[in-house]
Structure 1
Amino acid sequence: MKSSLLFLMITVFMAGTPALAKATTITFGVNSDYAMPLLKIAYSGERPELDEGILKDLGEAISKELNVEPKWFLVPKNRVAPSLSAGKVDILCHLNEIWQPKIVNDVWWSAPLYKSSNVLVFLKQPNPSSLKDIRGETVGTVLNFIYTSLDPQFKNGSLKREDGPNNVANIQKLLKGRLRYIVMSNLEYAYYKNIYSSMNSAELDMDVVMTKCAVSKKSNLKIEDVNKAIANIHRSGKLNSILRSYYIKDVL
């Protein structure tokens, strides 16, 4: 009698908990070469961990819509493509096909998130109306980053490229007078302008894209579910709220 009752209880429990058969976590890849407002890395001992930033807030918002817990996997830019192709991460956001041409067909691309473009940042120089106005200058860039609008000038020598590890380092070069111009995304400029009010920018329609999430084709995560989650955070205003918390407007 006791064994029959135990069997019945187990059967009822298993029937009432179908979620246990499904994935309860998804692994978000995060490009560790970025800086705020996209991400801030903290260290627990010697181990780096995602602490805050747009990518953390975005991942948490998408995970909530999917009813799963996010797990973060920090990866340098040159390992983003292999990590997605190999299925080491389920999803990585703030991407675009132009930035990762080698894996365009190896991942599922989501619906758009928000607009990203590059702006030319300077301090007291006259506002350039085109790249011709800064001919011969050295421009601060980020190592391994692609600048489609500037690459022809870098190749023909009309502009010189100076790579830094990230734009936090480049801003310091700008403020200390080591560089007269740096290039960064519109998202970064909106955030850092609030901190360094002396910075100015010229929007020259450089590298304008709509960012997306890329889902590994080796993941069990369905692109349809991701797109539904993105639609929901757009419609609810959650995505706009995340961006505005970092002083970013008019990019949706």
Structure 2
Amino acid sequence: MTALPLSDRARRTARRAVRRGVLPVALCAGLATAVTACGGEDPDAGTNGVGRLSATQIEHKAQAAVESASAVRLAGALVTQGETYKLNMRLKKTGGSGSVTSKNSTFELLRVEDALFLKADAGFWSRGTAGAKGGAPSGDTDSEAAHKLDDKYVKVPEDDPAYKQLRGFTDMNVLLDGLLTLNGELAKGDRDKIGGVRAIEVSAAEGKGGSLDVSLEGTPYPLQLERAGGAGTLTLSEWGRDFALAAPAKGQTVDYGSKLPRAKD
């Protein structure tokens, strides 16, 4: 930075400041209108310090935070195998609960350990029971079965083809391990606020490999993920906030049978 000439008055002020031992403060004050700053504000002041790290180090910090987390809320859009799902799930190591919306339907999932339950309205079951291989429960017609299943929990048999896919929406480890991966050379991006929390972005391959916003406050948890190739944007919140998980009462459940209906495309 090129030094600017001082006026006689400014030089006298500086000399007096030297005698008083306050020259840096005096100069900053005297030159404030000519120079933007003498030091500049530290963008990481009051943060957890991860903003000072390299992009790779920030990613490692975020991954370590995820591995140690006991719970999280995950919400947003997820595109997989050409299908878009809107998720709003609360997850922890022993299970999860929340809603999933696809092109044709919305349903709720609840998993407690290995027991997985699905709840949806009659319209969902009406579409699904058409062409079902397992048949309607208790010999009912499709419409009668749909009415009985309306807004009830149905336990998904573990040997049903749908079990693995549906369980994946409730599995914290599966979702986070599969989603929080950036592909390509990492770089630090802008600082922003996600849900009112200060964060710093880490992007891969100039954004083509996805990007992750990591908290600058407290534990460096991931707060938002933009998946590569436009495969969805997800927000992550309520890290470590526990919630109750319990199997639904018998009066809230209906036994469909050995196989769930297969929905038409």
If the length of structure 1 is used for normalisation, what is the TM-score?
0.25
- Kindly name which structure, 1 or 2, has the bigger radius of gyration based on alpha carbons: 2
- Higher RCO, 1 vs 2 (CA within 8 Å, ≥6 residues apart): 1
If the length of structure 2 is used for normalisation, what is the TM-score?
0.24
In terms of fraction of residues, the more helix-rich structure is: 1
